[in-house]
Copies of this chain bind each other. A is one copy, B any other.
Amino acid sequence: MNLAIGDLSRRTGVKIPTIRYYEQIGLLPSPARTEGQQRRYGPAEVRRLNFIRHARELGFEVDAIRQLLGLADDPDRCCGEVHDITKAHLDEVKDKIARLTALRDELEAMVACDNRRISECRIIEVLADHGECQHQQH
């Protein structure tokens, strides 16, 4: 098991430049190199990169992943911090959902305006004058 970066990319679904980027920002450790300076990866790197990918898919920011990775390496520790990071992320997601839902309702009301002349179009009016709109703030 001595994978080139392309193999690692295919196994994890993470694009090659992204893998190099993760190395650059310190999310992935610098791997072994061949004599010609090509990267070679083992199973530990595959696991770590999969962890990173799943966390990104779940919307965790790189900084949060860095923390999670640090914690994951310490099996005897209590996972309270892991819980806290996840909870904070969950709260952000809930908040985003709430804001988008308000947005959706506003847009639904706007698209009810159909096939008029621009000069009497509700959408344009709402955009031109926020007073027309129930939307508060992001």
A residues with a Cβ closer than 8 A to B are: 47, 50-51, 54-55, 57-59, 68, 71-72, 74-80, 82-83, 86-87, 89-90, 93-94, 96-97, 100-101, 103-104, 106-108, 110-111, 113-119, 121, 123-124, 126-130, 133, 135, 137-138
Contact = CB atoms under 8 A, between A and B. Distances in A.
B93 A123 contact: no
Secondary structure dominating the interface of A: helix
A108 B82 contact: no
- Quick one: copies of this chain in the complex? 2
B124 A78 contact: no
A115 B54 CA distance: 22
Contacts of A76: 117-119
Contacts of A55: 127
Given A72-B118, A83-B113, A83-B114, A57 B135 contact: yes
Contact of A100 (B80, B93, B121): B93
B83 A115 contact: yes
Nearest to A108: B90
Given A121-B82, A138-B57, A127 B51 contact: yes
Pick from A108, A121, A137 the residue with the most CB of B within 10 Å: A121
10 closest A-B pairs by CB: A75-B119, A79-B121, A90-B107, A54-B130, A97-B100, A72-B124, A77-B118, A75-B118, A93-B104, A82-B123
